[in-house]
A and B are shown apart, each in its own frame.
Chain A
């Protein structure tokens, strides 16, 4: 096991940040930690990178204990904190060189590992890191976290605040790194990014809601979801919420995801009800559950 977490709890001044968290990450796995801000993702990362000591429970990273062997862990992991944590007044190359030296290595030695990513930012190697675009900064941060060839890579919300194009590229890079045998724990608030991970853990308010592969997690959703649409979104949501048989009503892009409490639910009934509420152009169709649906159901 690359990471093994057993019953970890952590609280700050009486406020619980993590409650009895347990999970394992296999060697070479891309493991996603999915949850909104304040769910406890960063606290968990800081415990695993030996920056915080949990109140209860134990954990190992690359078979080293997070408390006793913290020095060994610090030699063997790469960490990319949530904020952009590079020196803004140093150039791209200086940042990379700096991180290589403090880890006792050189850029040349591990160039293979970062080559794919570095060639994209190499044209700007003399530019100050503070002047890079969001996507570029993120690539540089990844290079810096990789430069000492870590066995496990911790990435705390690497795609927050980055545009969709860079986000997509970033996940593609992570996939390629996985092929090189690096274990990765990645957190993200975006449900749509979960599908790329091998396994994901859904986390909210310091508790793990579910741990499984993205495909299986979606299958856990037992109810049938209907995509409902009509001419007026606001009236539609209001009407659905006042419908006596409604189980859940969530706006979902141009549709509303609707589930019913009855097992013998017939869309025709709902259609009639909505028509009686003066809604027009009504359409009701069965749709597939997404990870977000599962998350909301579990967090309810």
Chain B
């Protein structure tokens, strides 16, 4: 299996989209001459030209809206918003526009738009550059939300997203770009199916995106202590593949959700509610959540570490859960 970084996987996916579909073009801030804030499109300006690699002014709302218009007009735009933090400036276009147009027009218009954005904390960038607001978008009917957590998914989920006739938001955790992983030989076929990343019988760990590697590390530590955690990577946040979660729960009877968003009104809260609704009688212990502390993410390293989900906290939470109803 070839090894590559997450960034290389994203680049490879973007390049393939540009090479295979003449209607695909990239649009966003500093994606061209600068090469992308995370270097995902470095060199593309020379390779594909300024018509298809479009540096925009700093106007998130308008270049996202222009992406909607271009999609309506027959193009296949991939819009990059530098980070989820800046996407708040484009919320109206995404929520009132892209998400509503099909239904509000009685099914007349599809908006085949892909929006990529980096998310997450962990780089000492303080409160305005460390948000994990995936759940805000996962709340909205009319858009689909995915979060590739592995190199293979980073390489292939974009292509699947581009086959969708509806708006898809792709979240890439900013810490992941330099991380290396194996590229599987067989590409995933389904954009919206969760994946069991590690099998186990003792506890189900539900996570996604940039928290996956933390959960896998936690599972490794627990395995040394004889605890086998089953780690589920949701991959898609809307729709949610709860069947995979509930199937696992029937085996483990315990669930921990690890989500870098704040706990209140989080994706973890939604998953927990669905487990209660559909898997209540399979539970041997209350569902546990490991989320970010309810605080704007601070700058100082020790405080930021304390605010975000950590491997030790995941391990401790799982051990508490297992001790709970032995």
Do A and B interact with each other, yes or no? no
Using a CB–CB cutoff of 8 Å, the interface residues on chain A facing chain B are none
Using a CB–CB cutoff of 8 Å, the interface residues on chain B facing chain A are none
